[in-house]
Amino acid sequence: MIVHKLEKIWLGLGMASLVLFLVIILVQAIHLGHEPAASGREFVDPELVDKHETFKNPGLHKVEGKDWDYELVFVVSAFNYNPGNVEIPKGAKVKIIATSKDVNHGFEIAHTNVNFMVVPGHISTFTKTFDKKGEYLLLCNEYCGMGHADMKSNIKVVDKK
């Protein structure tokens, strides 16, 4: 097989660009310390969620000595967010902690940047400061069964008391 000189040049340029792109990706991944989000590195047995210390009492809890003001704990299961309705003080920095008891669910607070997956056995977290007063709809954006369309919760941001 005879390979024309121009074909060799184009093959060489293609291989060189491929190697260059791979080197750039490796440098960014290793040198700049890129890694997957910390969310989902903690685990809980889906059958024992109700007995786990974090998920025994779902809801909004004031915390001290952390980078956030409140922890909002959700237990997600078939077509249900527990708690169903939550009131958060305006300006509060909230760490949302969630897990699922059954299947994959989505966790999206409409009109915010809060959007993550809730996977059985994984503890998912997201930190958000709620600066705007109003009501926010919490939706499941991952199809989870027949009642998926009715799976929602309400988060109300109110003036501090």
pLDDT at 3: 84
Instruction: Specify the pTM.
Output: 0.74
Residue 5: what pLDDT?
A: 92
Encode pLDDT of 113-159 as tens digits: 899 999 998 999 999 999 999 999 999 999 998 989 899 999 999 99
CATH entry, 42-158, from 3.40.50.2300, 2.60.40.420, 3.40.50.300, 3.40.50.1700: 2.60.40.420
Tell me the torsion sign for CA atoms 111, 123, 80, 82: negative
* Predicted confidence (pLDDT) per residue in 7-46, tens digit: 999 999 999 999 999 999 888 777 766 555 555 578 899 9
Domain boundaries, the chain: 1-35, 42-158
Distances in Å between the Cα of 93 and the Cα atoms of 44, 85, 90, 145, 151 are 25, 18, 9, 32, 25
pLDDT on residue 27? 84
Predicted local distance difference test score (pLDDT) of residue 28: 79
CA 109 to CA 156: how far, in whole Å?
Answer: 11
Contact between 74 and 81 (Cβ < 8 Å): yes
| pLDDT of 161 higher than 80 | no
Beta bridge partners of 61: 71
Question: pLDDT tens-digit profile of 131-144?
Answer: 999 999 999 999 99
**pLDDT per residue over 81-114, tens digit each?**
999 999 999 999 999 999 999 999 999 999 998 9
> Looking at residue 36, what is its pLDDT?
55
Structure confidence by residue, pLDDT tens digits, 38-85:
555 788 999 999 999 999 999 999 999 998 999 999 999 989 999 999
